[in-house]
Structure 1
Amino acid sequence: MAVTAILALLGGAGVWSLIALHINVATLVDSYTNAVSFARRIWPLEFPSAAEVAREVGTTLSIVLLATLLSVILSIPLAVAAAANTKRTQLGRTCARSLIVASRVVPDVVLAIVFVRLFGLGVLPGVLAMGLHSVGMVAKLYADAIEHVDPGPQESLRATGAGRRQQLVTSVFPLVAPSFLAIALHRFDINLRISAILGFVGVAGVGMKMSEAFGRLNFSLGVAWALVLFVLCVLVEWLSASMRRGLLRNASGTEDHPSRIVGARRRRLGDTVERGDGLRCRVSPPWTARRVRRHLYGAAFLGFVLWALLGSGVLDGELHGGLSGFLATLDHFWPPGSGGSFDDLVEALGTTIQIGLAATLCGAVIAIPLGSLAARNVAPNRAVFVACRGVILAVRATPELVLAIMLVVSIGLGPVAGTLALAIGSAGLLGKLVADSVEEVDPGPGEALRTVGASRLQVYTGATLPQALAAIVSNGLYQLDVNIRAATLLGIVGGGGIGYFLLQATRTREYEIVTLILFMTFAVVMVVELAAMGLRRLLR
């Protein structure tokens, strides 16, 4: 009853938000003329030269790669300290968890504003801002992966007197390595979409070119850059998804494990030692096609990192004013202040919350049927499965900022454009999570219903959906958290809410207002997080 009441309350809040924001069919019909006019203004698209596209795409990929790598390097020790089975002390675990949460709280745009002021426009501010913000997600997922490893090998090593470092190197890291790589690839996808937002605050790459074009009202060029970013996101999403599936599928494989024993008549591809019975034992893995492929991937990755370091200009960044300049910049952000506009900030924060609630509700209404049809055990045929997965991939690959810009120009400034942009983005992310949750349910109850003559729809509503409902609700609450954060950022491009005041305070260098907005957003997100934690406990 408590769960039903909370879900009803959230659903009612979403409907109230839709009404308060005037999001209805009439609003969309009224914007039809603006949309047609915008389409005429951008056509034909003004594509930049191939050399410029290659240069800016290379810069964007360099920033995203280095930022993701920085987050991984910082997250591994934090995750080890934060995991219950590898922590040194409870105090150390609490401190590590606090640092992880703190890095999630500070928006990457705010970090980018600080680093642009410190280092100037370019690559380095984007790498630092995106990398530090990514630690919040990467370190949390790494810690969860470490806590879920099989404790047997670690306990065996501990019983033989192995030290903590030996236990980590031989019984923890090898088991979580596939998950670590999959999480890093997933964060790479997210950072690529975030790069579009950071371009509006001075970070180099495709996002900055798009920002400059829209700032000059050159919509044909701006949309062309947005299309370049969309194609890049689709390609990276497809490639990383394929790599993640391969990593997770082979995570439990043992064909390359060094303990395999091979007879003397087998071809000697690795080092061997003589056994007492005349046979030889392999003490290094054989050079199979999979092992060669892994080494080639590793060499290509190292080459890409060196290219990003040397070719992007990230090593050319210099701290303006030295340490005194750094401290002086931080001093501008404290103490927080409202500049006499506290009531306006509170009203704008309320609008941001409404945007998050309305977008989550609309996204969930689309994502549940779309994600269900994208699950192999629910889709009536392969054509429907592939089509729904393709829609989800295309939506997920489109940055919300690009959608917001298009909708702002078509519909006009205000929360309607921001809400619709987030709703479309939510449908993509929630659709994928719903599809994964539905595919992971126990097939037994569905097969039992099917044997007694139940239809496909009855099996879905009577067995599949009830099993996946807890995961769907949990993912929906996570999406609400994400949407409230994203609504703050979409205000930068006219999507309504408190993001507009964030942009104005940045332009006028009223950094104390930026700090106050950060604290206000943090308070709202913490309330949502606490409510989500309580609801997840009830669902369990």
Structure 2
Amino acid sequence: MTTTAPAGAPTGPAPPAPRLLPRPRPGSTAATVTLLVLLAAGVWAVVDLQINVATFVDGAGRAAAFARRTLPLDFPSLGEILTLCGQTLAIVVSATLLSTVLSVPLALLAASTTSPNATARLGARAAVVVARAVPDVVLAIVFVRIFGIGALTGVLAMGLHSVGMIGKMYADAVEQIDAGPATALKAAGATRLQQITGGVLPPVLPAFVAVGLHRLDINLRISVVLGFVGVQGIGFAIAESLRVMDYQRGIALALVVLGLCIMVELISGAIRTALLGRAEPRRGITGSLSRLVRRATDRDPDAALGVDTDLTRDSRLRSAAALVEGRTTPPWDRRRTTRAVYALVTALVIAASLAGSGASPAELVTALPRVAQSVGLFFPPETGGLLPELFAQLLVTIEIALAATLIGVVLSLPIGALAARNVAPTPGVARTFRLVVLVIRGIPELILAIVFVVITGLGEVAGAVALGVGAVGLLGKLVADSLEEADPGPRHAVEATGGSRWQVFFAATVPAGAKALVAHVLYLLDVNIRSATLLGIVGAGGIGFYLLNASRVLEFGVVTTILIMVFATVLLVELVAVWVRSRL
């Protein structure tokens, strides 16, 4: 019996069933496999380095002996502490200012929306990548050869290396702004310079300020590392103390650095609050750059500063009143006065830093004839008969970075989650863990490496553990910020169905912030490879030990070879990270 379709019924194949899940992006499976391979490599690194509880139990006796040699701490006089801190801050501020000044034009050339042509954009991007890949300690070694031990070496080394981070973030910020104002100026006949100054720089100024202040915090910790290769300041004083095994003075100065780092971060946070508005400090610099730029490009000028609706309405009322009264400038209210005071204080700090750093432009000009000769010492690259050993130590450095990243992730996920206001059970718990992250963030990795070298002995374990613990300061903050910035919609939906706190966390909050968390972990691996290179300076294993030795015995061709190897490794990791992020 044949069944006849009813009249008017559609014929042909049945329509496909609607998809309940989004179609996976091309390459997402390969990206997931890559992440699993990196996870397996991290587990292998931890096992191969034999990092376990027994490692620290065995080192308990050495730690006790070290404590006996360290206590009581020998703090220098208050005047000496203030002098060292002042000199360090002057060098750090000057270096950050130099990197900011260099990064603005470089970012405009690197951004697709402001670059004059593809060649200029590619060249600017390449310059940013090179500046980021060359370790600051290598730059310091080169500049010590040219300018000798002093402040100018630190300013140039930190300043040029910082361009790698600041230039990239500035370029990303420029690319994310609304092109409307610049296009309107162009249509009105404005020159390219007028389009940039009137339509590009004002919207991105909040992001520029935030990134610059964030880099100031980083450079302060870097200055401690550079003290071991001849840069003046408190890092140099720590290096001199440890060189003669005066641990009482060295650890005391390390605690001074910790307090200085915490103080600078709190002050920079206050400045961001005053200049950028109340909403910005509640979000991380790295994790919320795009959101900050979007606020900055809002139609409402007050929205660019994160000002709430009431303040925006008050501002409009004041503007209307100003028009009625015939005024063409905003009134000097409390908000404008506060900003002006902060701007004045910032200008005075910069002027004092330039004067107090001791970095003389005349010294730079005098040394220019020696630049070509000194740079020529680094070419051609040489191996010194150590090429197999250098490759072996490079693999050790990568192993240290993988183990440190895994340790950092394991420690940072719970700490960062408890530091997030929308995850912590109470606001007090969130503030407590934010303080923990802040304290760890203020300890330079080099100091942690020295401590763990004493506990675990010379070698790779000390470097991996030091970087893993230090990662809490960076990754813990990024995890907390990412969870706070996650879309609250899924969380509210699970809460509405009666889900418990754990169900809300694992079913809604974590998935919403998963992509950002993956990006942060890949960034941490990138950072750890560079840092693992530097920790070899204090005996924490890896290729950094050979780098420092080659510079000390004037084997600059070997320094170049090591630099090329590290550069290639960092570039490969960065390319993998970019590819994974684009596929997830």
Asked if Structure 1 and Structure 2 have the same fold, meaning a TM-score greater than 0.5 normalized by the shorter chain, the answer is yes
- Name the SS for the 1:282 alignment partner: coil
Alignment counterpart, residue 217 of structure 1, candidates 226, 231, 245 = 245
Q: Is the 8 A contact 1:260 1:282 kept in 2?
A: no
More displaced stretch, 14-23 vs 212-221: 14-23
Partners of 1:537 and 1:340 lie apart in 2 by 41
Alignment counterpart, residue 364 of structure 1, candidates 409, 433, 441 = 409
1:422 aligned residue: 467
Q: Deviations over 1:41-80 (max 9, x none)?
A: 1000011111111111000000000000000000010111
Partners of 1:283 and 1:168 lie apart in 2 by 24
Q: CA deviation at 1:324?
A: 4.2
Partners of 2:424 and 2:30 lie apart in 1 by 32
Q: Deviations over 1:305-333 (max 9, x none)?
A: 22222233212763698444222211110
Alignment partner of 1:131 is 2:180: no
AA in 1 matched with 2:422: N
Q: Is the 8 A contact 2:94 2:357 kept in 1?
A: no
Alignment partner of 1:283 is 2:349: no
5+ residue gaps, structure 1? 273-278
Q: CA deviation at 1:2?
A: 2.6
Alignment counterpart, residue 383 of structure 1, candidates 418, 428, 438 = 428
Alignment counterpart, residue 446 of structure 1, candidates 484, 491, 494 = 491
Q: Is the 8 A contact 1:506 1:514 kept in 2?
A: yes
AA in 2 matched with 1:447: H
Partners of 1:70 and 1:321 lie apart in 2 by 19
1:33 aligned residue: 61
AA in 2 matched with 1:253: D
Alignment partner of 1:67 is 2:112: no
5+ residue gaps, structure 2? 1-28, 279-295, 304-310
Count of aligned pairs between the two proteins: 527
| Superposition misfits of 4+ residues, deviation over 6 angstroms | 254-257
Alignment counterpart, residue 37 of structure 2, candidates 3, 9, 24 = 9
Give TM-score, length-normalised by structure 2: 0.87
Partners of 1:392 and 1:19 lie apart in 2 by 27
Alignment counterpart, residue 231 of structure 1, candidates 250, 259, 276 = 259
More displaced stretch, 520-529 vs 289-298: 289-298
Partners of 2:93 and 2:357 lie apart in 1 by 11
Partners of 1:213 and 1:122 lie apart in 2 by 18
Alignment counterpart, residue 302 of structure 2, candidates 217, 229, 253 = 253
More displaced stretch, 167-176 vs 394-403: 167-176
2:502 aligned residue: 457
**Larger Rg: 1 or 2?**
2
2:215 aligned residue: 187
Q: CA deviation at 1:28?
A: 1.3
Q: Deviations over 1:372-408 (max 9, x none)?
A: 1111111111121111111111111111011111111
AA in 1 matched with 2:151: V
Alignment counterpart, residue 114 of structure 1, candidates 142, 149, 154 = 142
How does 1:277-356 map onto structure 2 within 5 Å?
279-315=324-360, 318=363, 322-356=367-401
Alignment counterpart, residue 83 of structure 1, candidates 85, 96, 111 = 111
Taking structure 1 as reference, are residues 42 and 316 closer, same or farther at Cα in structure 2, changes over 3 Å only?
farther
Partners of 1:203 and 1:489 lie apart in 2 by 15
Taking structure 1 as reference, are residues 292 and 132 closer, same or farther at Cα in structure 2, changes over 3 Å only?
same
AA in 2 matched with 1:108: D
AA in 1 matched with 2:359: V
Q: CA deviation at 1:3?
A: 3.4
1:275 aligned residue: none
Partners of 2:316 and 2:56 lie apart in 1 by 65
AA in 2 matched with 1:234: I
AA in 1 matched with 2:302: G
1:510 aligned residue: 555
Taking structure 1 as reference, are residues 159 and 29 closer, same or farther at Cα in structure 2, changes over 3 Å only?
same
Partners of 1:367 and 1:163 lie apart in 2 by 49
Partners of 2:493 and 2:343 lie apart in 1 by 47
Q: CA deviation at 1:348?
A: 0.6
2:22 aligned residue: none
- Name the SS for the 2:363 alignment partner: coil
Alignment partner of 1:529 is 2:574: yes
Q: Is the 8 A contact 2:271 2:342 kept in 1?
A: no
Computed over aligned residues only, the root mean square deviation of the Cα atoms, in angstroms, reads: 1.9
Partners of 1:362 and 1:317 lie apart in 2 by 47
Partners of 1:347 and 1:117 lie apart in 2 by 28
Partners of 1:245 and 1:19 lie apart in 2 by 45
Alignment partner of 1:92 is 2:120: yes
1:169 aligned residue: 197
State, as a whole percentage, how many aligned pairs show the same letter: 50
Give TM-score, length-normalised by structure 1: 0.94
Q: CA deviation at 1:176?
A: 0.9
Q: Is the 8 A contact 1:263 1:281 kept in 2?
A: no
Q: Is the 8 A contact 1:59 1:312 kept in 2?
A: yes
- Name the SS for the 2:384 alignment partner: coil
Partners of 2:121 and 2:542 lie apart in 1 by 36
Alignment counterpart, residue 471 of structure 1, candidates 516, 519, 523 = 516
Taking structure 1 as reference, are residues 105 and 4 closer, same or farther at Cα in structure 2, changes over 3 Å only?
closer
Partners of 1:230 and 1:339 lie apart in 2 by 39
Taking structure 1 as reference, are residues 414 and 201 closer, same or farther at Cα in structure 2, changes over 3 Å only?
same
1:21 aligned residue: 49
